[in-house]
Structure 1
């Protein structure tokens, strides 16, 4: 009986840690996507500014 409680406790602990890890990974993916969108927008804005600075150059 004691071994069964240990097994259930270990499995529950692993499931809790796995849930926390998956939650952290999900937030890291969301933050990464936001950062990627920000980089794309900044690159677009910088490109537009350089195009306005040098209108003869394409």
Structure 2
């Protein structure tokens, strides 16, 4: 999940540098959503792992 977030972030940066504002905006929006999903899944797995270990 984090891998795809970084891919879309790089696409957004390259598109922004080249002047493709719409594509850069869409790619950065997708990167933000994927990063939030990654954080939520990471925290859930962290809490679940802590609950079963203790």
Length-normalised TM-score, structure 1? 0.59
Match of 1:38 in 2: 41
Aligned-residue CA RMSD in angstroms?
A: 0.8
Query: Which of structure 1's runs of 4+ aligned residues deviate more than 6 A?
Result: none
Of structures 1 and 2, the larger Rg is shown by 1
Length-normalised TM-score, structure 2? 0.63
State the structure with bigger RCO (CA 8 A, min sep 6), 1 or 2: 2
Aligned pairs, number: 36
Question: Unaligned stretches of 5+ in structure 2?
Answer: 1-18
